[in-house]
């Protein structure tokens, strides 16, 4: 069994609360990263927008393809 099959089996056990808490984990991780490496805050905002859009493409494609 590959790591991806194992992860897919584990993700199926998530409840809606688990799924909603994951963005909070990401936000807190980003804040910690900004505190530890303050030079990250000097990056142009549009890089974050582009990265966010690129990260959103796969979930949107998966959601709307069926």
Domain locations in the chain as residue ranges: 3-64
Q: For position 66, what pLDDT does the model report?
A: 64
Is 31:24 a contact under the CB 8 Å cutoff? no
Strand extents, DSSP E, 1-66: none
Give dist(CA 38, CA 31) in Å, integer.
10
pLDDT tens for each residue of the chain, 66 residues long: 899 999 889 889 999 999 999 999 999 999 999 999 999 899 999 999 999 999 999 989 988 886
């Amino acid at each position: 069994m590959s790591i991806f099959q194992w992860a897919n089996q584990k993700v199926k056990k998530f409840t809606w609360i688990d799924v909603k808490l994951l963005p909070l984990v990401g936000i807190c991780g980003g804040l910690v990263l900004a505190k530890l490496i303050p030079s990250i805050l000097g990056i142009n905002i549009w890089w974050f927008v582009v990265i966010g859009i690129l990260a959103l493409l796969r979930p949107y494609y998966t959601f709307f393809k069926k």
